[in-house]
Amino acid sequence: MIAQELHDLLKTTFGEAILEAKIDGVLDPFVTVAPGRIAEIARFLRDDDRTLFDSLMCLSGVDLTKGNLAVVYHLHSTKRNHKFVLKAVVPAADPHVQSVASVWKMADWNEREAYDMYGIIFDGHPDLRRILMPDDWEGFPLRKDYQVPEFYNGMKVPY
């Protein structure tokens, strides 16, 4: 299936949950969806016979600046051999996205990483803890407005 067909399929199935699409003029066509409905969209894309996206290639957090964060899902179907990109944009002040860890296990650790680096809360994630940074780290390092702390656990960090 090509990107335009996938977009039309999602648009007819989910209607208002599909917020924006960019199909032409970009290297990887993508569709922006409502962060509160990403799980059902993901489940549909995985199970529907026309799409069969059985593999989540990559899940990334991105700081879009201007007060917004995004989660980007790169999907791939090993059976149909097509690719697609989903995006969910959330405000940085209250970043809540549905977890897709129950759809693809691969999302489990990657959502933890996105939480660790951007502070995006994945609702419904089984075990949302920091993964790369220490458990007691404060702040979310990959946000663009992150300030490197002067002290860690009372110790001065030399730079």
Partner 1 sequence: MEVTLTDVEPGRRPATIPGLGRPLRAEEMVISMGPQHPSTHGVLRLELVVDGEIVVDVIPHIGYLHRCFEKHCEHMTNYQQVIPYADRMDYVAAMSNEFGYVIAMEKMLKIQVPERVEYIRVIMAEFSRIISHLIAIGTYGLDIGAFTPFLYCMRDREHVLDIIEETCGARLLYNYMWIGGLSHDVKPSFQKQVREFCTYFRPKIKELNDLLSYNKIFIERTANVGVLPGDVAINYGASGPVLRGSGVNWDLRKNDPYSIYDRFTFEIPVGKGLKGKVGDCWDRYMVRVHEMEQSTNIIEQAVDQLPEGDVQSAIPKRIRPEAGEVYVRTETPKGDLGYYIVSDGTASPFRIKVRPPCFINLSALPAMCRGAMIADVVAVLGSIDIVLGEVDR
The residues that touch partner 1, with contacts defined as CB under 8 A, are 26-28, 54-58, 60-63, 72, 74, 78, 81, 85, 104-106, 108-110, 117, 126-127, 129-135, 141-142
Helix and strand counts by DSSP (H, E) for the chain: 3, 9
- Cα–chain center distance at 116: 13
Closest contact distance (angstroms) between CB of 18 and partner 1 is 19
Residue nearer to partner 1 on the CB measure, 18 or 101: 101
Minimum separation from the CB atom of position 20 to partner 1 (A) = 15
51 with 1: CB under 8 angstroms? yes
Q: At what angle do helices 3-14 and 38-47 cross, to 10 degrees?
A: 120
CA distance 60 to 38: 14
Measured from the CB atom, the residue of 15 and 154 that comes closer to partner 1 is 154
Q: Which is nearer to partner 1, 55 or 68 (CB)?
A: 55
- Locus of tokens 């991105």: 62
Nearer to partner 1, 11 or 130 (CB): 130
User: In angstroms, what is the minimal distance from the CB of 49 to partner 1?
Assistant: 16
CB count in 10 Å sphere of residue 62:
16
d(CA 15, CA 5): 14
Nearest distance from C-beta of residue 142 to partner 1, angstroms: 6
